[in-house]
Amino acid sequence: MPLMALAPQIKKLRDVVIIKNEIYEIKYSEVLESPLVVKYTVQCPNGTASRSGMDFYTIPDVHTTDDADYIHNTYDKGHMAPAADFNCTSEMLYKTFSYVNCAVQDQALNRLTWRLLEAKEREYAQTNTVDVEIKVDVNKKCLKLPTGAYVPKGFYKTIYIKETKQVFKYYMPNIKPVYSDPEKYRIK
């Protein structure tokens, strides 16, 4: 057998992989181990499916972050398409727990201001169709964790309300927030 046949197959990491299902569409960078753009429509502003026992999982053939990227640091597995927007059924909810749908996010941001902005989406969705687009501010100049994932500088979130044609845009740096009120991060 030739020696080349014994060499391990090294997979080239892709700059962009598109993942699309009935919940979200994500442009994901295997190189950065981060979503780049996430698009979704809020589907369950009043859902009650339980997330109990759910944990993040990888998708075959897509190189993503994993548990090691979130150990011994101040980062959360930040849902981009929020679990609470898709808790109609446990099947829908489960789809939000894919690592392609999470970014390395400051835990204080994820648990406070980002969470409150997600609640605003659901509030709008009580009476309207709400489309959301998140652009993750991440590139090779960002902090790279020893495990390989890049830490985004921040997150651009645009909320589109179909019926009223309102558009709300926000930018949140990926640090402990100065303000809990998401409106303090609204941009024009």
The 3-class secondary structure across 14-59, one letter per residue, is CCCEEEECCCEEEEEECCCCEEEEEEEECCCCCCCCCCCCCCCECC
CA max distance for the chain: 67
Q: What is the pTM of this model?
A: 0.93
Structure token pair of residue 105: 């996010």
Whose structure tokens read 């789809």?
95
* Rounded Cα–Cα distance for residues 26 and 37 (Å): 6
What pLDDT is attached to residue 107? 98
Q: 3-class DSSP state for residue 125?
A: coil
Residues 6+ apart with CB under 8 A from 71: none
Structure-block tokens of residue 119: 């609640």
**Sheet strand arrangement including 154-161:** 17-20, 24-29, 34-41, 130-137, 154-161, 166-173, 186-187
For every one of its 188 residues, what pLDDT tens digit does the chain have, with 9 covering 90 and above?
Answer: 455 555 556 789 999 999 999 999 999 999 999 999 999 999 999 999 999 999 999 999 999 999 999 999 999 999 999 999 999 999 999 999 999 999 999 999 999 999 999 999 999 999 999 999 999 999 999 999 999 999 999 999 999 999 999 999 999 999 999 999 999 999 98
Residues paired with residue 131 on neighbouring β-strands, in sequence order: 41, 160
> What was the pLDDT predicted at 11?
81
